[in-house]
Structure 1
Amino acid sequence: MRTRLEALARKMGVRFQGVIVDNRRSDLPPDDESWAYVSGSNSDHDFSAYAEGLSRCVEKAGAAPDTILFINDSLFTLHSAYAHAREVIAYAGLVRQLVVPALCGKTDPYAAMCHRSPWSGLPFYVSSFCFLLNRPAFDVLGALSRWADADGLDRSLTVTDPRWGTGLQPNFREFIRAFVAYGESWFVWPGLKRYAVDDRLISTKARCIYLEHRLSGEIAREGCLIPINERTLPRWRLYIAEKIVLLKRKFGLH
């Protein structure tokens, strides 16, 4: 991950420093001037890594930075890393100056079942594989797991259990269930066929879906969502870059 991040930074003409969270609990290298390493709990997959990385980043810096770029490994394995990171980082100056919570990244529409965020009422949310937060938004990220617990997203329950997700808006609860459990929709989670899944993994994945949407919804309630794909030219740049990367992977060239 460090090698990929530093290669990406060189390509963009910037310098990255920060925290790398390893949810596989490998043997970690020692921290250095640019990078700190954390053995992640993996309790909420990417989102527990984001929260644990944020905590270590603040500790390493001695204070909360103005902005932090959050990414997971799928930026490199499923997307065009350069195209997305370039578009997001271009907004860093704006995001830094906002005095309300701000979230910048690629937005996706609510295209099925639940057509608006239960928290903000907006018809879109920010995908969580590559996004930028400003300092006022850090508390929202830190509170996500606690809110999931309060809304009844218990990892020990199957998502079809009537006790699961009792605090959720009913149509949003069904939206999550359709994604991870019902298996009859075009937007079903591909991991159901890709991985050896059990009830706990499905429940944790369901929490991650909730956390992604709650992050956008809570920030948009009083703050700002900044889409990198709202305008026509950036939207087409991202689309073309993703198609090129997909073709390269298909022919083993990526």
Structure 2
Amino acid sequence: MIEQKFNASKFNTIGHNVMLESVYNALEKKPDAISASPLRSEMLLDSCLNLFVAANKDFAFSERIGASTRGSSAFPSFSFLKKCILGNCALNDANKLTRSSHEDAIKQPEFLMMFYNEFFNNEDIIRDSLEDEILKTINKVMASYPNLTDEEIDGLFFVAGVTYNSCVYWYENSDKWISVLFHNQKQKTRGWLWDGVKNGTKKWAKADGAGALRAWAMSRIAGVASNGTTLLAGAAVGSLVGAWNNLPYWD
């Protein structure tokens, strides 16, 4: 039952990767759209968000990945996406801009934090054993929290599905993102940046995992379905800022 539910979640969250690829395509056409780390200032953060929204505003969950329309939802508001970013980075204590708001430092669900910490404590992310590692982590969480509600279980599998798809995406696409993100940047030494694709995959996938966790927690207030467009966008937009922030080359 757990494996079956995880396989369904992998399918239902593939739209996260579609959104990331849409932003990459937009950046490839206009690589100077983001010229500095989005966490430097409110203006840069808003610019990053505008890029994400412009690239994905026509995203249709049910049409793009063939899933039931029951789980789809309208594209989320700018405000929701911004809160996902701030909460994502506050979770990782990444920047003073994101730590300044008590609201954005809201406590995350413990069972999701356990999944996040257990999985990303792995030294490396190995592509061939990725599914087994995620399933092992899901089982640990469910054993530690045997009384999760159906809604909470859905949240766990949503985060697990995004984590899987994120790891696969960054494992396969990190090089091209590094290339486009380096455009127009002053490079001192490029070789030290990427300590192997496994390390890079882990860094960027961790940002996606935090984004998924934050998006699910926030969406409970709005009553959004766990595989809807709002959740996928909240997870993907968090990963974009996390990706840029993980590259220490900004002037």
Max Rg structure: 1
Give the shorter-chain TM-score range: 0.3 to 0.5
Q: TM (normalized to structure 2)?
A: 0.35
Higher relative contact order (CA 8 A, sep 6+): 2
